[in-house]
Each structure stands twice: as C-alpha cells, then as structure tokens.
Amino acid sequence: MFEVLTDSFRSAVNKIRFADDEKSLKKALETLKKSLLKADVHHKVVKDLLAVVEKETKQNGIGQLNFLKALKDNLNEILTAPGNQGFVFASKPPTKVLMAGLQGSGKTTTTVKLANYLKLRHKKVLVAACDLQRLAAVEQLKQLCSANDIDLYADEEEKNPLKIAKAALKKAEDGLYDVLLVDTAGRLAIDAELMDELEGVKKTIAPHEVFYVADSLTGQDAIRSAASFHEKIGITGVVLSKYDGDSKGGVALGIAQQVNVPLRFIGLGEKVADLEAFVPDRIVNRLMGEGDLETLAEKTATIIDEKKAKAITKKIKKGEFNFNDFLEQMEQMKKLGSMKSIIGMIPGLSQMAGKLKDVDLENSAEMKKIKAMISSMTKKEREEPSLLNNTRKRRIAEGAGLSNVEVNRFLKQFKNASKMAKQFSGKKGMQDLQNLMAQAKQSGIPR
C-alpha cells in the first residue's frame, strides 16, 4: 500500500550520512520533494512540509534521527484534521451514516465493507438502498449484503429515495439496530440534481455522519471532489477507496489538510474485509516502514474466538492439529483481508508486501488443490491424518484429480507446518517468535 512512499522516505533519510552536514540535508530534502510530487502530493503540502522539516532538523541538529523525527511529527500533523477518527457511535442508537460519492468511486462496495467492519465489532447494522439512479445498484447491494450476511432495506417499487430512507430509519429504530448506513445515488460529475437529492436524504434522516467515498485512483481530483461535496452538503469524513490500486499513494497525504475533514477509513483491496480505520500515527509508522501491529492485533481480535483459539493451541501442543482445523483457520484468515495488507502491517516486511500485489492466497491454484484434496478425504481421515497410508492417498489423489506426488507433497508440507506450530506453541517457541519480530522491526527506517 505505502511501499512507494516508504522507499522514498528511506532514500531521503539515507542521504544524511554525517552529523551537521547541511549539504546532505539539502540532498535529502530535494529527494523528498521529488518523491512526494511524483507520488501526487499537492505542491503546497510538499512545500510546507519541507520548510518545517528543514527548520526543525536544523534546530535539533542535523542527523538521521532528528530528520526522521521531524518528518514523522509533521506527517502526523498533515494527516490529522479536526473531527473524529475511526467510527464514533451516537449516544442514542441507531447511529445514522449517509454514504455519498460520485459514480464509479466504489461507494456501494465501501458501504458493505463498512457494514462488515461494524458487524465484526458486534454491532447490528442495517444498510438502506437509496441509490435509484445507477442501473442494478440495488441488485449489487442485495448480492453483497446476502453474501456477507448483512441486513438490507430495499423497496424496488418505490422511486423516491427520501421515502426509502425514512422507511429504513423506522426499521432501524424498531429493530433496535446500532447503525444505519444509507447508500445514496452518485453521478458522473457533481450537479445540482445530485446535491438536491443528497440534501433531501440528509434532512430526512438527520445523519450523525456524512462520509464521502473518494476514488484514490483519480488523484488530486479525489481531493477536489471531496472539497466540493464538503462545501455543498457538509461531510464529516472521507473514505478513500481503491487505495491498493494507487501506485502513487500521495492522495492520502493531502486530503485531511486540503479538505479540512479527517480521512476516516481506507479501502485496501477487493475483499469485504479490506477496510481499515485511518489512524494518523499508525499510518505514519507504516509510511516509515515500521509496520502497524496495533491495527493487525485489533483486526485479529475481531475474528478470533478466544475459546476456539485456546482449544486450537492445546491441539497444536499435543500434535493433534488436523485438516478440519486447517480449513477452519483458512476461513478465519479470509476475514482478515488480503495477504498484502496483512504483510504490510508487520514491521520490516512492507517491501515484501509490494511483491504480493497479485497474490490471492484463498483462490490460488495451490490452495484450490489443497481444498480438493481435503474434500476427497473421509471424515475420519480429516480428523486423524496419521491414517493416510498409500492406498488411501491413491484414492484421495483420484478423487481430487491430483497426482500421487502432489498429494504426498501437500501432506509433507502439512506435517512440517504442524511440527513448526508445535515448536512455537511452547514458551521457548514464543520467545523465538518475539526475537524474530524484534529483528524484523530493526530492519525498518532508520537502518
């Protein structure tokens, strides 16, 4: 996600090789300037950032650490705007959220992602289908909500979005929902008709939040359109969509300062789980290549059942981890989001994340073969992998459409992974894991 900017910051920091060397500071600032402008950061934001970083670095003494501290502090300031961060619930439910944006920005998908994000945090969520302008918008919302077990209010007979919004609000109140998300119509461009409709829906439900979904792939246009929406209807936050596809990434650095509303969430992939709350200091850590273990821990906590986790740990310690457990863990991993976003949160591994751009672990050829192999096993074989003799392996290979060599290779990998998990489940293993994490963190900026 941030690999291009991270590489740019690392390159700038490494220009400062000696203490009190003004030439090296000048080179670092020049490198930073070129990188930020190339990453589509607004020229005024770049100019102001460089001026403050230079001033603070000189005041505290030219050196890598002081330069890095000034850069981090000021990036954090740029990313912070007045208003709430993350998601704030109303004192009296339901919390009403109006979702706005132009056509093609990913507004409908983002609405479902936000509903899923809240659902994982044990909130009862209702989505209202008020986009009656785009063909099949309601059908898309129906399919997405159905696939992710999210409640939807839709009325395809009604042609007035204000009436649908009002009816959805009544259902949310009567059904004791925690949150109502209202997906509204978009246009190809900002026009009076769009704004009048949004204003009408806003008056009807009196939302606590108005989120503008901005397409990060449109660069500075995303900031300009967010500013226009803020001026005309008033928004409380921006949700940046499609950020995983933005190779530049600089739009996130200017949105808070230029629009003067906080960037609240960021979409990092196509999966419903690929949405994160935008917390400035954590994002700065990721920009610096230092990872974001706090967000990773929070995401993990939302999907892992503590009792099940303890049960799995016991099975691993006893060497009883089986194929049913494996499939269950894979289902849990899907809820974490894309492998790229997970890897990007681990200190020292942000560069690796960039190479995983097209990797989809769940739908990879290898994973499909493994699932086919497990599906060809009997219930007893899944529970007791030790039963798999050569005769059983041949039957499984035929049932899964695999070769005997492939089946043997997968079973060997499973056995080795189980051994490694057993090794790390003990006290010594946990200490080894902590040591590995510490080493990974040290590989970030500065080196």
> Cβ distance 152 to 177 under 8 Å?
no
State how far the alpha carbon of 95 is from the alpha carbons of 3, 129, 419, in Å. Answer: 35, 17, 48
Q: What is the DSSP string of 369-435?
A: HHHHHHHTS-HHHHH-GGG--HHHHHHHHHHHT--HHHHHHHHHHHHHHHHHHHHHHSHHHHHHHHH
For residues 245 and 111, membership in a common domain is answered with yes
49, two tokens: 């950032």
Select from 341, 335, 253 the least CA-distant residue to 295: 341
For residues 276 and 302, membership in a common domain is answered with no
DSSP alpha helices (H): ranges in 93-205? 107-119, 137-147, 161-174, 192-205
> Rounded to an integer, what distance in angstroms lies between the CA atom of residue 366 and that of residue 410?
9
Q: Using N-to-C axis directions, what is the helix angle for 306-317 and 404-425, rounded to 10°? A: 100
> Rounded to an integer, what distance in angstroms lies between the CA atom of residue 350 and that of residue 8?
13
> Rounded to an integer, what distance in angstroms lies between the CA atom of residue 166 and that of residue 154?
12
Angle (CA) 115 117 120, round 5°:
105
State how far the alpha carbon of 266 is from the alpha carbons of 6, 79, 178, 427, in Å. Answer: 17, 13, 22, 37
For residues 152 and 22, membership in a common domain is answered with no
Q: Final residue of a domain: which of 79, 108, 128?
A: 79
Residue 428 maps to a domain: yes
Residue 154 maps to a domain: yes
For residues 11 and 68, membership in a common domain is answered with yes
> Rounded to an integer, what distance in angstroms lies between the CA atom of residue 273 and that of residue 253?
23
Q: pLDDT tens per residue, the chain (447 residues)?
A: 566 677 777 778 778 776 777 888 888 889 888 888 887 788 888 888 889 988 988 888 888 888 888 888 888 888 887 776 667 888 899 999 999 988 888 899 999 999 999 998 889 999 999 998 887 889 999 999 999 999 999 998 888 999 999 999 999 999 999 999 999 988 777 778 888 888 999 999 999 999 999 887 777 788 888 888 888 889 898 898 887 655 556 777 778 778 888 888 988 778 888 888 888 877 777 777 666 566 666 666 666 666 666 676 676 667 677 888 777 777 666 666 666 666 665 555 555 555 555 445 555 677 788 889 999 999 999 888 888 999 999 999 999 999 999 999 888 888 877 776 666 555 554 455 445 445 444 444 443
pTM of the predicted model, to two decimals? Answer: 0.68
150, two tokens: 């999210």
- Whether the ω angle into residue 446 lies within 30 degrees of 0, i.e. cis, is yes
Q: Report the sign of the C-alpha dihedral through residues 357, 358, 360, 366, in that order.
A: negative
Residue 66 maps to a domain: yes
For residues 275 and 145, membership in a common domain is answered with yes
Residue 84 maps to a domain: no
What contacts 12, CB < 8 A, 6 or more positions away? 28, 29, 31, 32, 35, 67, 71
> Cβ distance 445 to 288 under 8 Å?
yes
List the domain range (segments joined by +) for residue 175.
95-288
Residue 88 maps to a domain: no
Kindly report the CATH number assigned to the domain that includes residue 421: 1.10.260.30
Q: Final residue of a domain: which of 288, 306, 326?
A: 288
Q: In the prediction, which pLDDT does 300 show? A: 66
For residues 246 and 337, membership in a common domain is answered with no
> Cβ distance 243 to 232 under 8 Å?
no
The alpha carbons of the chain give a radius of gyration, in whole angstroms, of 25
For residues 282 and 305, membership in a common domain is answered with no
Q: Final residue of a domain: which of 20, 54, 79?
A: 79
Kindly report the CATH number assigned to the domain that includes residue 70: 1.20.120.140
Residue 340 maps to a domain: yes
What total of structural domains would you count in the chain? Answer: 3
For residues 278 and 313, membership in a common domain is answered with no
For residues 140 and 263, membership in a common domain is answered with yes
For residues 337 and 231, membership in a common domain is answered with no
142, two tokens: 């129906």
Q: In the prediction, which pLDDT does 446 show? A: 40
> Rounded to an integer, what distance in angstroms lies between the CA atom of residue 249 and that of residue 353?
15
> Rounded to an integer, what distance in angstroms lies between the CA atom of residue 138 and that of residue 142?
6
Residue 172 maps to a domain: yes
For residues 141 and 274, membership in a common domain is answered with yes
For residues 342 and 270, membership in a common domain is answered with no
